Amino acid sequence: NHSSATEFCLLGFHGSQKLHHILFTIFFFFYSVTVMGNLVIIMIVCVDKHLHSPMYFFLIHLSVLETLTTTIVVPVMLWGLLQPGIQTISLAACVAQLFLYLAVGTTEFALLGAMAVDRYVAVCNPLRYNIIMNSRTCTWVVSACWVFGFLSEIWPVYTTFQFTFCKSNVLDHFFCDRGQLLKLSCDDTVFTEFIFFLMAIFIIVGSLIPTIVSYTYIISTILKIPSASGWRKAFSTCASHFTFVVIGYGTCFFLYMKPKQTQAAEYSKIVSLLISVVTPFLNPFIFTLRNDKVKEALGNEVKRCCQLLKD
């Protein structure tokens, strides 16, 4: 390791201690709801036999990824908000946090692309859906997403920490953000930042292409359905995933799809909050309030729990 820094100082959020306590309360609420909400989704899908289908198998993994995304960042941020002084993080912890954050994010993009193809098969080829999207295929697809996500981020993270951080060890962020790390380097990072940009294009656009193609065919198929009830049924199977895709890709386009990775700290913090706090927080609501089967399963489990308590 050629880095001159053995630890980094995280400036986090500026402001008084009172403001920090308010932010702690807000973010702790968001984090608690996110973890509980995604765990509820995972438990419902596992328990309810009616939800044992490819769509909900993918949803379990999406919920796991969303929980991991927020858990990698938020606890460190909350601890920093409680500390009166500057928060420090070791070099090893910084490497681990950055790697896990990028790896989980890449895995999620790959999974969203796979989920779009799943919705395409369900709407455009319903008679062969169970044959094409069998358990073996789903397991292979999900495994490929996880392996690709983690392997693809080894080199970028390794390269990031090969630079010499001699300007300072103070990161103007609430976690080990790559853009802010590159700002501290005394080396020329322009070429490396361009490579990171190309990799971001490959990962984000590469997973977006099957999503766009799938939804083009889905919309074309739905428009051919003569009845309004058929329209609603077809749209309902895709609404949750489509909503999540718009939110997820929208925020990441603003953060990573830039040739210059070292954007302004405040801008980076806001977009990072959207990715690590807001989007995972919305996930349980998107996939429960907009999904009749999940709502029905949730209602059944609540009734069952109430019945057990009465007995």
Q: Is residue 68 part of a domain?
A: yes
* Residue 23 near residue 81, CB atoms below 8 Å: yes
Q: Is residue 2 part of a domain?
A: no
Q: What is the DSSP letter of 7?
A: E
DSSP bridge pairs for 170: 9
Note the pLDDT of residue 138: 94
Question: Residue 35 is encoded by which pair of tokens?
Answer: 């973890």
pLDDT tens for each residue of the chain, 311 residues long? 444 677 888 888 888 888 999 999 999 999 999 999 999 889 888 888 777 888 889 989 999 999 999 999 999 999 989 887 788 899 899 999 999 999 999 999 999 999 999 989 988 888 898 899 999 999 999 999 999 999 999 999 999 988 888 777 888 888 998 888 888 888 888 888 888 888 888 888 888 899 999 988 888 888 887 776 666 766 766 777 777 888 777 777 666 555 554 556 777 788 888 888 988 898 888 877 666 677 777 777 677 777 766 66
90 phi/psi in degrees, rounded to 5: -70, 160
Domain span at residue 141? 7-309
CA atoms of 208 and 197, how far apart (whole Å):
16
Helix axes 279-289, 292-310, angle to 10 degrees: 90
CA atoms of 88 and 259, how far apart (whole Å):
29
Note the pLDDT of residue 297: 72
Number of domains into which the chain is organized? 1
CA atoms of 165 and 272, how far apart (whole Å):
22
Note the pLDDT of residue 148: 96
Q: Is residue 103 part of a domain?
A: yes
Measure Cα distances from 108 to 100, 142, 146, 177, 187 in Å. Answer: 12, 10, 8, 18, 32
CATH code for the domain in which residue 206 is found: 1.20.1070.10
Q: What is the DSSP string of 151-187?
A: HTTHHHHHHHTTS---S-SEESSSS--HHHHHHT-SS
Radius of gyration, CA atoms only, the chain: 21
DSSP bridge pairs for 268: none
CA atoms of 85 and 87, how far apart (whole Å):
6
Would you mind telling me the total number of residues written for the chain in this entry? 311
Centre a 10 Å sphere on the Cβ of residue 304 and count the other Cβ atoms it contains: 11
DSSP bridge pairs for 132: none
* Residue 9 near residue 180, CB atoms below 8 Å: no
**Amino acid at position 26, single letter:** I
How are beta strands 7-10 and 87-90 bridged, if at all? antiparallel
CA atoms of 154 and 99, how far apart (whole Å):
7
Q: Is residue 283 part of a domain?
A: yes
Note the pLDDT of residue 290: 61
CA atoms of 294 and 163, how far apart (whole Å):
48
Q: Is residue 59 part of a domain?
A: yes
Q: Is residue 284 part of a domain?
A: yes
